[in-house]
Chain A
Amino acid sequence: MSDAETPPDFDPVAPNTGEEFEPVDVFPDSDDFDLRPGADSCYKCSTCDTNCPVAEVDDDFPGPKFQGPEQWRLKQSDDDHEIDDSVMDCSNCMRCDNACPSGVPLSQMHNTARGEYVSEQMDKLSVEYIRNRILANYRTSAFLASKVPRLANFAMNFGPARWVMEKTMGITSERDFPAFAKQTFRDWWADRGGQAQSRENARAARRRRGLPEDADKKVAYFHGCYSNYNTPEVGKAMVRVYEEFGYEVVAPEQKCSGTPMFANGMLDDARRHAETNVSSMSELVDEGYHAIASCTSCSMALRQEYPELFDIDGIDKVAENTFEAVEYLRIHEDLKGEVQAADVDGDLAEEFAYHAPCHSRNQGLDRQAVELFRDLDGAEVEDVGDSCSGISGTYGWKEEKYEKSMEIGEEMFEHMEHAEGETGMTECPTCAMQMEHGSGYEIRHPLELLEAALVE
């Protein structure tokens, strides 16, 4: 839809069946945000509030019900300074989305309110704004750093520099910046021979599996910033596992998924990145590819936040055809059977303390790793509970939020300590940072374990 009209059949409760649903365009030509209709579903039951990790540690944060349906219903259209500033304390973990028994689009309301707050009420020259903008645009920093990874790794964690960053920018000096890989995933991918090599590998695998060599199995990998710049081993594992099942992989042009930008109300930035991602992915979807992400926040953004917040050509098609990497194999392959038949030894013959990222929870994937690896010989995956890790992307990097972030994570740290193994596992790179920070464990991605189990 091109104007601000909400379709007459708009029903925030009805699941998006992909047929009759048209997204509400909350950003028409004017700066006219209106999600009041979403408040129609609210019972006031506060189930959402019981899921909020921030409200649990911060009594100054009034919880998702207030930030969502309550604030929207009470809000008036003709006033300035209407969004309560507490919306900036929301960490955008989106756990409340899964809560509402009545289908209130909570995170959409929060994202939109935050966007409105940032664009209408926040001082663009404030340190907070600039800091948030830098944190939100991690890709830009990472891109520069990856050109000189050694120097960057040193400089970013250089004590005096960090002290200055905390004092001037409000970026906590408690955390270590993630290390930049010496070779990015994309460099590796190009060196390895890109799509052509992948096609060859896929064909070989199909032959091994007795599948037709020209079987239509192809996926477009949305690796995201982190597996590109910081943990290319996750990206490599994804490629190898998919090729093992006979899939040809492409790694299309892409930018940041936008997750850190949503969380900071930088919706204009997010939209610019989303436009690139949607345009390159929708072309591939038209050619029969499915989009696969290894980071659950990236898949979340492509599937849910994009269609909720933006009106970009092809956006629904991309959302419908985006999957998390392991999820896709569970649906399309006999993954369970293959894992049952496999075993691991070596490095990854471990007992993993697994944390389900909030954004995986939101896609119904929070139990996937635990249930999938239940029957894998040689490795154990133990769930460390359903709490939030507390970092929520950029939230835990903010100096004023650091302690809250660690308080939220406390439950997870405790459970990790009680768990058998001393290696952690999660799908989300920032959760991994928090797990490592709080426990000292090395953190792996489920794809790495799959690779160890299934790839020769």
Chain B
Amino acid sequence: MAIESEVLVIGGGLGGLTSALAAAREGADVRLVSYKQSTLRQASGLVDVLGYTPDGDGPLTDPYEAIPTLPAEHPYRKVGVQTVRDALSLFDDAVPTYEGDHTDANALLPTHGGSIKPTARYPAGASAGLASDTRDTLLVGIEEMVDFDAPHVAAHLDATGVPFDVRGETIRFPGDLRADAKVTRYAKLLDTNSEVAVRGRMVPAREALAQRVNPLLEDEQRVGFPAILGDDNPGAIRDALSDHLGVDVFEVPMGPPSLPGLRLEDALFAALDEAGASIETGNPVVDFEGEDRIEKVFIEKNGARIPNSADQYVLATGGFVGKGVESDREGVYEPVFDCHVPHAADRYDWFEGELFGDHEFARYGVATDDDLRPLDASDDREFENLRAAGSVLGGYDFAAEKSGSGVSIATGYAAGQRAAQEAR
């Protein structure tokens, strides 16, 4: 026997989760299988839709306006503007702790490197840090934490022309954690508000942190910290800090490992659980049976192959980073179903000499028809009942465009919804 479902989603990142959620909300019996943890924990947790055109125009104020002008092979063109909007509505509903849905306009947020970037949705924790907000800002860095050097970030932000004064200060985190303490250690301390020793006295962590910042605060009306303010209770932590400091508190999204990304992943898994889907993580899909239709796939557990069958399948295994697309010296391939991945024959054509050149590899992934079904080398459907979503798709450079999350959500939504409709 096989483990059965109507829709089987392979991959547990933003594309897979949205896809499973859309299918489950459509009423289908959904099963999501995911090998390792997704790249969400490597991402900032911001939900970009489109910040720049492929030609580099931007930052775009209105991402939706630009979508119809994108090249035909772009995933947004496959699903259309309305689907992008519908998909974001699903996201807004599933993750109510995100903001930005009150306007079509992009927001500009400070990055931990000190630049600013356009994005469409941001966690509530980042909202007091918007760069179009003109309030003067104090950034606070932690001496032990090399990923966020507040004075440097502040100076860099200033160079981008932000409409406010910004200053950076560095403190030692109360409790004198060892220099290689993980961000989860900081988050846990603040989550539990455990007491830390400050000059021989035990003080709750949130209060102790505020005490270190207070003397540094001048006329600024908001204070930004690196995104370490809790995993389970970030809102309460910000409120507490805000009360102590008397000004708004926000987080600057960070690089990996990213707590905002982790929180987003948790929120989506919780929404999926609530929608009644079944979820299995930790083991890879390694093989399948079927010719024109996929009959079943095999999940590998230490040598044992566990069959899983479904009516419809969604491939949401990620791009190069998530290993949904792999490569060797000879070429580029999709490892689960061996779907065709168009790419240049000479691997020296995969990239440009300039660091931020127009790299082809960034656009590699499976090509699909308008129904998101992967196409083979002669533009025929690989399988009747397979759709692809998220960064396993080709035809767009999410890094240059700042469109990664938006494409994953939009194509995940479309693939999941259509799979569910077809399975019914």
* Chain A positions near chain B (C-beta within 8 angstroms): 13, 15-18, 43, 45-47, 49-52, 55-60, 62-63, 66, 97-103, 303-304, 307, 316, 319-323, 330-334, 361-364, 366-367, 371, 374, 383, 407, 410-411
Question: Which residues of the other chain, B, contact A66 by a CB distance below 8 angstroms?
Answer: 180
Stretch at the interface among B76-84, B125-133, B296-304, B414-422: B296-304
Question: Which residues of the other chain, B, contact A307 by a CB distance below 8 angstroms?
Answer: 302-303
Which residue on chain B has the smallest CB distance to residue A408? B188
Contact indicator per residue, chain B 161-190, by CB within 8 Å of chain A (1) or not (0): 000000000000000011011111101100
CA of A411 to CA of B35, assembled, Å: 26
Sorting the interface of chain B by its residue count into under 10, 10 to 19, 20 to 34 or 35 or more gives 35 or more
B302–A319 touching, CB < 8 Å:
yes
Which residue on chain B has the smallest CB distance to residue A63? B182
Which residue on chain B has the smallest CB distance to residue A361? B282
Contact of B301 among A50, A60, A363 (CB under 8 A): A363
Known contacts A55-B184, A55-B185, A411-B232, A367 near B300 by CB under 8 Å: no
B256–A47 touching, CB < 8 Å:
yes
B182–A51 touching, CB < 8 Å:
no
Which residue on chain A has the smallest CB distance to residue B188? A56
A47–B42 touching, CB < 8 Å:
yes
**Total A-B pairs, Cβ < 8 A:** 142
A98–B281 touching, CB < 8 Å:
yes
Q: List 26 A-B contacts (CB under 8 A).
A: A15-B283, A17-B300, A18-B303, A45-B41, A47-B41, A47-B257, A49-B182, A49-B183, A49-B257, A56-B184, A59-B178, A98-B281, A100-B36, A100-B37, A101-B36, A102-B323, A303-B303, A303-B304, A304-B302, A307-B302, A307-B303, A363-B301, A366-B281, A367-B280, A371-B279, A411-B232
Residue B192 CB within 8 A of the other chain = yes
CA of A13 to CA of B280, assembled, Å: 19
Question: Which residues of the other chain, B, contact A52 by a CB distance below 8 angstroms?
Answer: 182, 184
Residue B18 CB within 8 A of the other chain = no
Contact indicator per residue, chain B 28-41, by CB within 8 Å of chain A (1) or not (0): 00000101111101
Residue B306 CB within 8 A of the other chain = yes
Question: Which residues of the other chain, B, contact A46 by a CB distance below 8 angstroms?
Answer: 182, 256-257
- The 3 residue pairs across chains A and B that have the minimum distance between CB atoms: A320-B303, A59-B181, A18-B303
B37–A98 touching, CB < 8 Å:
yes
Question: Which residues of the other chain, B, contact A55 by a CB distance below 8 angstroms?
Answer: 181-182, 184-185
Which residue on chain A has the smallest CB distance to residue B179? A59
Contact of B283 among A51, A59, A60, A364 (CB under 8 A): A364
CA of A334 to CA of B42, assembled, Å: 39
Contact indicator per residue, chain B 321-333, by CB within 8 Å of chain A (1) or not (0): 1110000000000
Question: Which residues of the other chain, A, contact B281 by a CB distance below 8 angstroms?
Answer: 98, 361, 364, 366
A60–B304 touching, CB < 8 Å:
no
Known contacts A366-B281, A411-B232, A320 near B256 by CB under 8 Å: no
CA of A383 to CA of B270, assembled, Å: 11
Residue B236 CB within 8 A of the other chain = no
Contact of B303 among A319, A330, A333, A366 (CB under 8 A): A319
A220 to chain B, nearest CB (A): 15
Known contacts A303-B301, A363-B282, A364-B282, A334 near B1 by CB under 8 Å: yes
Question: Which residues of the other chain, B, contact A47 by a CB distance below 8 angstroms?
Answer: 37, 41-42, 256-257
A371–B278 touching, CB < 8 Å:
yes
Residue B3 CB within 8 A of the other chain = yes
Most buried by A among B273, B299, B304: B304
123-177 of chain B: CB within 8 A of chain A? 177
Residue B247 CB within 8 A of the other chain = no
Known contacts A17-B286, A57-B188, A411-B232, A98 near B302 by CB under 8 Å: no
Known contacts A18-B303, A47-B41, A103 near B280 by CB under 8 Å: no
A331–B306 touching, CB < 8 Å:
yes
B120 to chain A, nearest CB (A): 24
Residue B284 CB within 8 A of the other chain = yes
CA of A337 to CA of B305, assembled, Å: 22
Contact of B300 among A16, A99, A331 (CB under 8 A): A16
B27 to chain A, nearest CB (A): 16
A13–B262 touching, CB < 8 Å:
no
A331–B282 touching, CB < 8 Å:
no
CA of A323 to CA of B38, assembled, Å: 26
Contact of B321 among A43, A362, A363 (CB under 8 A): A43
Question: Which residues of the other chain, B, contact A371 by a CB distance below 8 angstroms?
Answer: 278-279
Which residue on chain A has the smallest CB distance to residue B33? A364
CA of A333 to CA of B2, assembled, Å: 9
B20 to chain A, nearest CB (A): 13
CA of A62 to CA of B178, assembled, Å: 9
B176 to chain A, nearest CB (A): 9
B301–A364 touching, CB < 8 Å:
yes
Which residue on chain B has the smallest CB distance to residue A318? B303
B182–A303 touching, CB < 8 Å:
no
Most buried by A among B38, B180, B187, B259: B180
A322 to chain B, nearest CB (A): 8
Known contacts A16-B302, A49-B182, A99 near B36 by CB under 8 Å: yes
B286 to chain A, nearest CB (A): 5
1-20 of chain B: CB within 8 A of chain A? 1-3
A367–B188 touching, CB < 8 Å:
no
B287 to chain A, nearest CB (A): 8
Question: Which residues of the other chain, B, contact A60 by a CB distance below 8 angstroms?
Answer: 178
Question: Which residues of the other chain, A, contact B39 by a CB distance below 8 angstroms?
Answer: 101
CA of A303 to CA of B279, assembled, Å: 21
B300 to chain A, nearest CB (A): 5
B257–A45 touching, CB < 8 Å:
yes
Known contacts A99-B37, A331-B1, A45 near B185 by CB under 8 Å: no
CA of A46 to CA of B262, assembled, Å: 12
CA of A58 to CA of B184, assembled, Å: 10
B282 to chain A, nearest CB (A): 4
Question: Which residues of the other chain, A, contact B303 by a CB distance below 8 angstroms?
Answer: 16-18, 303, 307, 316, 319-320
Known contacts A47-B37, A57-B185, A364-B301, A15 near B323 by CB under 8 Å: no
Contact of A320 among B1, B286, B304 (CB under 8 A): B304
CA of A289 to CA of B334, assembled, Å: 36
CA of A16 to CA of B304, assembled, Å: 9
B3–A320 touching, CB < 8 Å:
no
Which residue on chain A has the smallest CB distance to residue B284? A15
B282–A98 touching, CB < 8 Å:
yes
Question: Which residues of the other chain, B, contact A63 by a CB distance below 8 angstroms?
Answer: 180, 182
| Given A50-B262, A56-B182, A364-B301, 11 more pairs with CB closer than 8 A | A16-B300, A50-B41, A50-B183, A59-B178, A59-B182, A307-B302, A321-B304, A362-B282, A363-B301, A364-B281, A374-B276
Which residue on chain A has the smallest CB distance to residue B31? A371
CA of A410 to CA of B299, assembled, Å: 34
CA of A63 to CA of B257, assembled, Å: 12
CA of A137 to CA of B262, assembled, Å: 38
CA of A364 to CA of B181, assembled, Å: 29
Question: Which residues of the other chain, A, contact B257 by a CB distance below 8 angstroms?
Answer: 45-47, 49-50
A330–B3 touching, CB < 8 Å:
yes
B185–A59 touching, CB < 8 Å:
yes
B3–A331 touching, CB < 8 Å:
yes
B232–A49 touching, CB < 8 Å:
no
B342 to chain A, nearest CB (A): 24
B184–A59 touching, CB < 8 Å:
no
A101–B301 touching, CB < 8 Å:
no
Question: Which residues of the other chain, A, contact B42 by a CB distance below 8 angstroms?
Answer: 43, 45, 47, 101
A368 to chain B, nearest CB (A): 8
Question: Which residues of the other chain, A, contact B276 by a CB distance below 8 angstroms?
Answer: 374
